[in-house]
């Protein structure tokens, strides 16, 4: 049962510096029910360049959803989150924090900065894929994206 | 609040004026895997009183999640959302908009107002139940909710 009424693919931005996690996420989303295009950047600076359509991302599409790791090189995920939610144009884009951290401080801070939700990445590969699929199912078929 | 009987139970505030929808939601969540307790208010003003522990809600617990309809008597859902998200006491509580509206403007506006997600209530009974289950699975089991560390 799909609630999704999109005719064109959903654009997702994955901000993740671990190549294994990128690959797993890509696979999980590829197998999903909803047509989607997953773009990946590997640090916070690239994320902001992508979102502001700056070089080398001048032709980047505006994502419908962002999956954001917290611990990133160059510009950390918390800063990225803060910038996104302060920017009127970017604010509506749902940001799902997807990180290894289970620290209460990180959880609280992320919600304070208006993260849409916070998910801790499982260590186990199979569990990771299950989580990615749950995210895909919930955000792409149940939720109405802006 | 230490050693409250509501510890380790997910507390939900359901802001909903349709008794039928309230009943359905209660039933679905009752059967769920995660222990939870639903508090219901049927208009926007009461939602605010509950969240800020005013009047009869002096001892109301802080919810872990808010399910918020948009079309409400007394104070509409957008107003309630604005108040929740602009006050540091309540702004970290995830708010799931659960409404019949499919209106693009409602969707845009509520995400601008920091709604955590927006879900259109299906008219079909079975679909409604499926959606409620999905909300439960996602928000109670998968997502990390903020702990009640900054209660008033």
User: How do residues B102-138 score in pLDDT, each as one tens digit?
Assistant: 999 999 999 999 999 999 999 999 999 999 999 999 9
How many whole angstroms separate alpha carbon A35 and alpha carbon A141? 11
Q: What is the model's pLDDT at position A8?
A: 77
Sheet strand arrangement including B10-15: B36-41, B10-15, B65-68, B95-99, B117-120
Q: Give pLDDT < 50 ranges for chain B.
A: 1, 149-152
- Asked whether B107 and B118 are in contact (CB, 8 A), the reply is yes
**Residues from chain B contacting residue A118 (CB–CB below 8 Å):** 143-144, 146
Report CB contact under 8 Å: B146, A107.
yes
Report CB contact under 8 Å: A108, B112.
no
Q: What is the model's pLDDT at position A7?
A: 62
CA distance A83 to chain B (A): 14
How many whole angstroms separate alpha carbon A135 and alpha carbon A92? 18
DSSP letter assigned to residue A52: T
Query: Which superfamily, per CATH, for B10-142?
Result: Response regulator (3.40.50.2300)
Residue A24 vs residues A21, A98, A118, A129: alpha-carbon distances, Å? 5, 13, 18, 6
Query: Interhelix angle for B44-51 vs B77-86, to 10°?
Result: 20
Task: Name residues whose C-beta falls within 8 Å of residue A106's C-beta, 6 or more positions apart in sequence.
Answer: A70, A78, A99, A118
- Asked whether B49 and B57 are in contact (CB, 8 A), the reply is yes
Residue with tokens 């409400």: B72
Contact pairs from chain A to chain B, CB under 8 Å: 80
Residue B120 vs residues A6, A141, B35, B128: alpha-carbon distances, Å? 14, 11, 25, 9
Residue with tokens 């799909």: A2
User: How do residues A119-145 score in pLDDT, each as one tens digit?
Assistant: 999 989 889 999 999 999 999 999 999
Give me the residue from A1, A93, A107 closest to B144, CB to CB: A107
Which ipTM value was assigned to this complex? 0.91
**Is the pTM here over 0.90, yes or no?**
yes
How many whole angstroms separate alpha carbon A3 and alpha carbon B34? 25
Nearest to A80 by CA among A113, A104, A107: A113
User: How do residues A62-111 score in pLDDT, each as one tens digit?
Assistant: 999 999 999 999 999 999 999 999 999 999 999 999 999 999 999 999 99
Q: What is the model's pLDDT at position B151?
A: 42
CA distance A105 to chain B (A): 9
Q: Which CATH number fits domain A10-132: 3.40.50.720, 3.40.50.2300, 3.90.1170.50, 1.10.10.10?
A: 3.40.50.2300
DSSP string over A125-142: HHHHHHHHHHHHHIIIII
Residue with tokens 């995400």: B111
What are the boundaries of each domain within chain B?
10-142
pLDDT class of A30 with cuts at 50, 70, 90: confident
Q: What is the model's pLDDT at position A21?
A: 93
Q: Is B126 helix (H, G, I), strand (E, B) or coil?
A: helix
């Amino acid at each position: 049962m799909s609630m999704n009424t999109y005719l064109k693919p959903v654009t997702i931005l994955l901000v993740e510096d671990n190549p294994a996690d990128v690959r797993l996420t890509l696979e999980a989303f590829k197998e999903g029910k909803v047509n989607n295009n997953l773009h990946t950047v590997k640090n916070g600076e690239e994320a902001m360049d992508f979102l502001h359509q700056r070089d080398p991302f001048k032709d980047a599409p505006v994502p419908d959803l962002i999956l954001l790791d917290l611990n990133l090189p160059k510009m950390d995920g918390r800063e990225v989150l803060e910038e996104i939610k302060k920017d009127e144009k970017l604010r509506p884009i749902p940001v799902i924090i997807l990180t290894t951290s289970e620290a209460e401080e990180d959880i609280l801070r992320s919600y304070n900065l208006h993260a849409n939700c916070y998910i801790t990445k499982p260590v186990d590969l199979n569990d990771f894929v299950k989580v990615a699929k749950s995210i895909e199912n919930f955000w792409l078929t149940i939720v109405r994206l802006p | 609040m230490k050693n409250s009987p509501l510890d380790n139970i997910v507390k939900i505030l359901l802001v909903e004026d349709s008794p039928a929808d309230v009943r359905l939601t209660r039933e679905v969540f009752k059967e769920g895997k995660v222990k939870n307790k639903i508090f219901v208010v049927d208009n926007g003003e009461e939602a605010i009183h509950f969240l800020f522990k005013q009047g009869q809600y002096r001892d109301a617990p802080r919810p872990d999640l808010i399910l918020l309809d948009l079309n409400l008597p007394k104070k509409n859902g957008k107003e309630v959302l604005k108040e929740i998200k602009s006050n540091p006491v309540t702004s970290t509580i995830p708010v799931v908009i659960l409404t019949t509206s499919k209106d693009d403007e409602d969707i845009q506006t509520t995400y601008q107002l920091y709604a955590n997600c927006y879900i259109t209530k299906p008219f079909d009974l079975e679909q409604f139940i499926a959606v409620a289950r999905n909300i439960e699975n996602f928000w109670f089991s998968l997502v990390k909710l903020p702990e009640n560390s900054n209660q008033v």
